[in-house]
């Protein structure tokens, strides 16, 4: 596996080829590695090299303390990626992603700015995500990129971004990987102690319970109750149309829909989502 720290090193390796990209901020876990495996499969089928990036993007952190405490372990990450048979990892510096003297912002799709979701709680976050994705797609000559479903809104933002900027990048979704107890894997889980981790299990419990409710408003109430009863602070717990995330099931009866949750355990912000109705209800039972 090649480790590139500069654009010149990556360019020399790519030698004019496109790549299938796994953008990450490092501190990799099994969730990332399942995205890497998807990229490897795409790479084998389409004959393009697989590239992961490790870049903790300052532009997407609206809270400097969150950026400062973002976990990092590049040597461990490289060992994981090497073991997965990835072709190259690119670990650029901030000035290479955003060369000074120019504004690298890009137009933001509507799905990045929906009231009540990420933009309310992390204003500017998706501006930063779109900015870095546009750069990474270009720097890595990406023809495809893999994004985890755990961050459902980010996946929709990536899809809308390539559509609206007219980029020829296929966005490949990767399923959420969970701990044995149901907690969605996240680099932030490392900040949870045992008691907080157990408290955070309310998130996957709430998604399962919400998925069992035929009335979407009741599903939202039930999810919120489960989370607050467990001592979680809830940013949002909603049922929305899966693609645009703007409409509820009354406004877009055809669906499909998603239960989407962001909640905090001891200040650690955790995201998760699942289909609504949930899997057990997906057998022809129409939502109310
Ligand atoms: O999901 C993440 O880790 C980041 O938002 C991403 C996609 C790597 C962009 O910095």
Residue whose entry in the numeric block shows the structure tokens 């903790």: 56
Ligand 1 atom nearest the C-alpha of 60 is 10
- Measured from the Cα of 55, ligand 1's closest atom is 10
d(CA 211, CA 14): 45
Helices H / strands E in the chain, number of each: 10, 9
Query: Whole-angstrom Cα distance, residue 47 to residue 144?
Result: 12
Pocket test for ligand 1, best of 129, 147, 152, 173 (most atoms within 8 A of CB): 129
Supply the residues annotated as catalytic: 32
d(CA 209, CA 165): 38
Residues 79-98 have pLDDT tens digits of 999 999 999 999 999 999 99
**Tokens 């040597």, located at residue:** 75
Strand partners, 234: 263
pLDDT band at 288, cuts 50/70/90?
very low
* 3-state SS assignment for residue 53: strand
Q: What is the pLDDT of residues 102-150, one digit of tens each?
A: 999 999 999 999 999 999 999 999 999 999 999 999 999 999 999 999 9
Q: For the chain, where are the alpha helices, taking DSSP H only? A: 7-14, 30-46, 64-68, 74-83, 94-97, 118-121, 125-139, 152-165, 194-211, 216-229
Please, which pLDDT band fits residue 282 given cuts at 50, 70 and 90? very low
Q: What is the pLDDT of residues 142-186, one digit of tens each?
A: 999 999 999 999 999 999 999 999 999 999 999 999 999 999 999
Q: Look at residues 66, 186, 58 and name the one whose alpha carbon lies nearest to residue 132.
A: 58
Domains (ranges, CATH) in the chain?
2-174 (3.40.50.620), 187-276 (3.30.1300.10)
Q: Which atom of ligand 1 is nearest to the CA of 147?
A: 7
Q: What angle do CA 239, 241, 242 make, to 5 degrees?
A: 100
- Per-residue confidence (pLDDT) for residue 279, from 0 to 100: 85
Residues with Cβ within 8 Å of 64's Cβ and at least 6 positions away in sequence, in order, are: none
CB 158 within 8 A of CB 111: no
Nearest residue CA, atom 1 of ligand 1? 24
Under the banding of pLDDT at 50, 70 and 90, the label for residue 280 is: low
**pLDDT over threshold 90, residue 286:** no
Strands 2-4 and 19-24, bridge-based pairing: unpaired
CA 288 vs CA 4, 157, 182, 276: distances in Å: 53, 28, 27, 11
124: left (phi over 0), alpha (psi -120 to 50) or beta: left
Instruction: Name the residue among 100, 159, 161 with its Cα closest to residue 128.
Output: 161
Ligand 1 environment, Cβ below 6 A: 23-25, 57, 60, 129, 132, 151, 154
CA of 124 to the centre of ligand 1 (A): 14
Distance 63 CA to ligand 1 centre (A): 16
What is the CA(25)–ligand 1 centre distance, in A? 6
- Atom 5, ligand 1: residue with shortest CA distance: 129
Taking the centre of ligand 1 as the mean of its atom positions, its distance from the CA of residue 272, in whole angstroms, is 15
Report the chain's terminal Cα–Cα distance, integer Å: 52
| Contact (CB, 8 A) for 219 and 259 | yes
Q: Give the contacts of 94 (CB within 8 A, at least 6 positions apart).
A: 58
């Amino acid at each position: 596996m090649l480790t590139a720290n500069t654009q010149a090193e990556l360019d020399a390796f790519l030698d004019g080829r496109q790549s299938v990209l796994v953008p990450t901020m490092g501190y990799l876990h099994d969730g990332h590695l399942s995205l890497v495996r998807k990229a490897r499969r795409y790479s084998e089928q389409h004959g393009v090299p697989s590239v992961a990036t490790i870049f903790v993007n300052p532009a997407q952190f609206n809270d400097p303390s969150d950026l400062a405490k973002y976990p990092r372990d590049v040597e461990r990450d490289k060992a994981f990626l090497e073991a997965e048979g990835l072709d190259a990892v690119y670990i650029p510096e901030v000035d290479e992603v955003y060369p000074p003297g120019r504004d690298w912002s890009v137009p933001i799709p509507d799905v990045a700015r929906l009231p009540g979701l990420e933009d309310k709680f992390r204003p500017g976050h998706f501006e930063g995500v779109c900015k870095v994705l546009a750069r990474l797609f270009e720097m890595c000559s990406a023809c495809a990129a893999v994004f985890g479903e755990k961050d459902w809104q980010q996946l929709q933002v990536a899809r809308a971004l390539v559509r609206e900027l007219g980029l020829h990048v296929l966005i490949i979704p990767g399923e959420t990987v969970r701990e044995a107890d149901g907690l969605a894997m996240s680099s932030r889980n490392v900040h949870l102690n045992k008691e907080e981790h157990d408290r955070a299990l309310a998130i996957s419990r709430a998604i399962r319970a919400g998925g069992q409710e035929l009335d979407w408003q009741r599903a939202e109430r039930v999810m919120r109750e489960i989370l607050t009863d467990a001592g979680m602070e809830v940013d949002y717990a909603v049922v929305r149309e899966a693609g645009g995330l703007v409409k509820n099931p009354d406004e877009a009866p055809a669906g499909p829909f998603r239960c989407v949750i962001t909640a905090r355990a001891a200040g650690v912000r955790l995201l998760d989502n699942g289909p609504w109705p949930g899997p057990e209800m997906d057998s022809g039972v129409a939502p109310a």
